[in-house]
Every structure is written in structure tokens, then in C-alpha cells.
Structure 1
Amino acid sequence: MTQSSAHPEKKKPAKKKGGNAGWVPDQHGAWVMVIIPLVVGISVARPALIHLPLAVAWFVGYFAFFAAGLWMKARGPRKQRYVPPLVTYGVICVIASAVVIAMRPTILIFALVFGPLVAVAVWEAWNRRPRSLVSGESTVLASCAMIPVTAWAAGDPMTTRLWVSTAVIALYFCGTIPYVKTLIRKRGDRTWFIGSVAYHLAAAIAVTVLAATGLVTWLAVPVFLVVALRAWWMPWQAARRGTPWRPRTVGFGEMAVTVLVLVAALVPPGAV
């Protein structure tokens, strides 16, 4: 018996051809922006029965949007593979949305907010620019809009605290788009680096003003200074050592920062 037959080489598992089939979104960073606003909205307002169909409509709507993006990107016969998830998720989203509207008809007023933002994201996807800055920021703003939507659905008043919490979270999430690009797709691009750092400094100043006027806890100031510091240090360090950061490292770092931002957004002013 030869050595090769005694110890046959283990075949590597074949990679699935064709990539994502559209049923499960593979944009892991987007999951945070889908989950957090809903959780924050319920935390700032109050839990209500309507939040169940609202959560279904929101999550399944994201699944449908992801499948639609793949469908628009595909060419020829490959489009057909994305029709089942698109139709399935689309139908479930419509049904869940109808239930929400039946329970709270005035929630349709937020179509004035979501309509333009979703239209921008769809337009960018249709033109094969799903990862553009415009597309990213429009989807982030739509995500953050779920915070007041969640409170409105429960019949809670649109309080100042609610809007400030929404603004604080939106300031952070909007900054993650250019920040992540400076570490991956736009790594080494000086224009993107300067733009990202400038935005984060402006966000830190805005939060300082909110704290000075008593609209947000002073805890938010050091948190956003840390956020601004990481926007400068991470790309600078990667360029200095000549090695890019691993996406997993960036992701774990953002998980920690997100927790800090949530604390800053949810702790009432004067509590600390």
C-alpha cells in the first residue's frame, strides 16, 4: 500500500456556487442597525402589543430589501433565484404592515420619512451602487427613524428625550459609514480619512452642546470623544504598520462602542 493510499488527502469542501441565495442577509454590520433602533424605541417609550407585528414588518422588510438588492444586481437567468425570497418576504412584510396600520392608522405619517430614504437606497441599488455613501446614509437614517416610529406606534408622546436619543444614535451610526470605509474599501484614501475625522469631531462638538444645554447626559461627551479618537487612530495605525485591520476586529470594536453610545443615549440627563 502506498503512502498516498494509506493517507488519502482530505478534499476541501466545495464552495457553494452562485453566492448568497437571498434568504439570509450576509451584511453583518446591518444587523446592529436593524435591531438597536427597535430596542431603543421600546426602551424609551413602553412595550405594547403593536410592537410584535411592527417588529415582524421591520425585520422581514429588511430581508425583502436585501433580496431585492441581489435581484437588481443580478443579470439574465440569475435573477430568478432571488424571486422566491423576495416574494416570500415581501408578502409577509405587507401583511405585518397592514396589521400595524389597522392598529395605528396614523403611523402612515412616517411614510413621508421612509418614502424618500428608501427611494434613494433603491435608486442606488438599481444603478449598482448599493455601497455608496448616499445609499449607506439613507438606510442608516431610515433605521434610526424606527425609534420615533416605535414610540408613535405605542401611542406615546414624541418627547424631547425621544428625539435627543434618536439624534445621538443617528450621529453615531451615520459616522460608521465613512469610518468603516477608511478601514476597508477606502483604506489609504486621504480624502475619506479627513472627511471621516472631520465628521466625528463635529459630532463630538454637537453632543457637547447638547450636554451643555441639559438635553443629554455628560457621559455622552467622553463617549463621542472616544468615537472621534477611534475614527483617527484606527486608520492611522493601519497605515503606520502597513497591515489592514481584520473585519472581525473592527466589528468587535464597534460592538463595544455601540454599547457606550446606547448608554449615552438612554441615560437621562442629570442622572450621572
Structure 2
Amino acid sequence: MTQPSAHTDKPAKSRKKKGGNAGWVPDQHGAWVMVIIPLVVGITVARPALIHLPLAVAWFVGYFAFFAAGLWMKARGPRKQRYVAPLVTYGVICVLASIVVVVMQPTILVFGLIFGPLVAVAVWEAWNRRPRSLASGESTVLASCAMIPVTAWAAGDPMTARLWVSTAVIALYFCGTIPYVKTLIRKRGDRTWFIGAVAYHLAAAVVVVVLAVAGLATWLAVPAFLVVALRAWWMPWQAARRGTPWRPRTVGFGEMAVTVLVLIAALVPPGVV
């Protein structure tokens, strides 16, 4: 993407602020991680295969189409028209790529039993103008994490215990980011959300300890999830203590570091560390 010149930077920002997102490029930066990581984990834990190329196209373009659809459902009157082009374009490409995947691996349709209900919840929430609800966030996160076993199934690989544990580790982390981020922004200062987020992260850490003790997960996952749980308490507490909210950029950079820790925990086989 080219950067605007010194002569066009200010007007471009003004136009963007006035017109908003046109639907072609998703601007939810946190969602990019949830789209990329599961695909990477699935291919790494299983094995790379030719079918992963159309699968990746269907997955990424499908996310683009979902984003455009959300904007279309949110818009009123004539503004809906501006999102038709990206919605139709991405939708057609997604369908074509999906057909290629199904032709190469017809049994992959079984995952429709998982994706169908999760996507239905997300679409329902978007249609009712609740795209940032907890139900919407968790359903899209779980759909994203389901891509880990999908990548293995598509390649014809067995559904190993390691694959499912890696899926669980990623899902435990991603599901917790929804309430955690809300305690820093939209639900900042809400004691109920704060307690709920911390309780969830402590429970997730306990689950990871159990997996490590059972020899199903690497012990690296334990300190990783202790850090995840600690940040779920410390970040909102520190913001309340100083009376100043965290900048979204600061929260984002922090999550990048935490995501790397969790990714390592998901990829390192048990017994190695």
C-alpha cells in the first residue's frame, strides 16, 4: 500500500473520516491475527498440501466478504450501495475457491456442522446491529479456531491429539481476548466484566496446567498463560489506578507479544520442553 504524499495526506485523512471504510479492506486489526494464526498453526502441526492454497483464498476472502457484509447490514438507505461491490466481489471469489476445495476434498463439508451455527450467530448479531456483542465475538473466534483442524482434514491428515490440544490452546487464548479488550475500552471500569475476564483467564491457566501435567501440552504453555492471566488483571487495574485508559496502540503491541508466547506454546510438541 502506498503512503500518501505530503500534499495529499491531510485531505485523504479528511475523506476517510467523512466517508468511512468503503468495505474493501478490513480495518479491524485484531481480527487479522485471528484469521492468520489458526491457518498457520493448522498447516504447521499437520503438513503443507496443495489444497491449502484454495483453502487460504476461501478463508481470507471469506473474511473480507463477511466484513463487507457487516458494513452493508449496518448502513442505512443509499449508503448500502457502496458496500455491494466489495460484498459481491469477495463473495464470488470465496464461493469459487470453496468449490475448488470441496472438489479436492469433498468430506470437508462435514465442518459445515461447526461453521454453520457459528456464522449464523455472527450474522444474526450483525443484522441486529450488535456486531461487537460477546456472542458475536466468541462465535467468530471459535469459527476461526476451527480452521486448525480444517487444514489438517483438508490435507487428509489424521486428527491427532496434538492437533486438538493446539486448537484448544489457541481457542482458550483468543476467546479470552474478547472480554479482556472490553475491560480496557467499551466496558472499562465495569467491575462485573473485570471479574469475569480475570476468572476466565485463571480457569484457562488451570486447564493448560492440567494439559501439561497430562503430557498433552508443552510446559511452555503454563508460563505463557500465567502471563496472559496476569495481563488480564494488571492492565485494567493499572488503568483504573492512574485514571487514564490505555491507548489502543499500546494494547495492540502488548497483545502482539502475548500472541507470540501462545503461538510458541501451541506449536512446540509436548515433551520437547
TM-score (norm 1): 0.95
Aligned mates of 2:56, 2:3 — CA distance in 1: 59
Deviation at 1:6, TM superposition (A): 20
| Residue 152 to residue 238, structure 1, CA distance change in 2 (3 Å) | same
> 1:74-85 maps to which residues of 2 (within 5 A)?
74-85=75-86
| Residue 7 to residue 195, structure 1, CA distance change in 2 (3 Å) | closer
Aligned mates of 1:72, 1:134 — CA distance in 2: 17
| Residue 7 to residue 18, structure 1, CA distance change in 2 (3 Å) | closer
| Residue 56 to residue 4, structure 1, CA distance change in 2 (3 Å) | closer
| Residue 236 to residue 84, structure 1, CA distance change in 2 (3 Å) | same
> Is structure 2 residue 170 aligned with structure 1 residue 178?
no
| Residue 17 to residue 162, structure 1, CA distance change in 2 (3 Å) | same
| Residue 94 to residue 230, structure 1, CA distance change in 2 (3 Å) | same
Structure 1 spans left out of the alignment, 5+ residues:
none
Aligned mates of 1:61, 1:2 — CA distance in 2: 25
Deviating 4+ runs (over 6 angstroms): 1-10
Q: Which residue of 2 aligns with 1:246?
A: 247
Deviation at 1:17, TM superposition (A): 2.3
Deviation at 1:152, TM superposition (A): 0.5
Aligned mates of 1:255, 1:235 — CA distance in 2: 18
| Residue 2 to residue 174, structure 1, CA distance change in 2 (3 Å) | closer
Aligned mates of 1:164, 1:3 — CA distance in 2: 42
RMSD over aligned Cα atoms: 4.9
| Residue 189 to residue 2, structure 1, CA distance change in 2 (3 Å) | closer
Q: Which residue of 1 aligns with 2:46?
A: 45
Deviation at 1:170, TM superposition (A): 0.1
Aligned mates of 1:258, 1:164 — CA distance in 2: 16
Aligned mates of 1:21, 1:111 — CA distance in 2: 30
| Residue 14 to residue 6, structure 1, CA distance change in 2 (3 Å) | closer
Q: Which residue of 1 aligns with 2:3?
A: 3
| Residue 151 to residue 3, structure 1, CA distance change in 2 (3 Å) | closer
| Residue 44 to residue 240, structure 1, CA distance change in 2 (3 Å) | same
> 1:126-145 maps to which residues of 2 (within 5 A)?
126-145=127-146
Deviation at 1:218, TM superposition (A): 1.0
| Residue 61 to residue 6, structure 1, CA distance change in 2 (3 Å) | closer
Identity of aligned residues (%): 90
| Residue 21 to residue 270, structure 1, CA distance change in 2 (3 Å) | same
Q: Which residue of 1 aligns with 2:270?
A: 269
3-state SS of 1:72 partner: helix
| Residue 120 to residue 5, structure 1, CA distance change in 2 (3 Å) | closer
> Is structure 2 residue 205 aligned with structure 1 residue 214?
no
Deviation at 1:187, TM superposition (A): 0.5
Aligned mates of 2:218, 2:176 — CA distance in 1: 20
Describe the superposition over 1:113-158 as per-residue Cα deviations: whole angstroms up to 9, x where unpaired.
0000000000000000000000000000000000000000011000
Aligned mates of 1:209, 1:29 — CA distance in 2: 29
Deviation at 1:14, TM superposition (A): 5.2
3-state SS of 1:3 partner: coil
Describe the superposition over 1:33-91 as per-residue Cα deviations: whole angstroms up to 9, x where unpaired.
00000000000011000000000000000000000000000111111110000000000
Describe the superposition over 1:175-219 as per-residue Cα deviations: whole angstroms up to 9, x where unpaired.
000000000111000000000000000000000011111100111
Aligned mates of 2:256, 2:162 — CA distance in 1: 24
Aligned mates of 2:253, 2:232 — CA distance in 1: 15
Largest Rg, 1 or 2: 1
| Residue 196 to residue 5, structure 1, CA distance change in 2 (3 Å) | closer
| Residue 7 to residue 162, structure 1, CA distance change in 2 (3 Å) | closer
Q: Which residue of 2 aligns with 1:73?
A: 74
Deviation at 1:4, TM superposition (A): 27
| Residue 77 to residue 163, structure 1, CA distance change in 2 (3 Å) | same
TM-score (norm 2): 0.95
| Residue 6 to residue 251, structure 1, CA distance change in 2 (3 Å) | closer
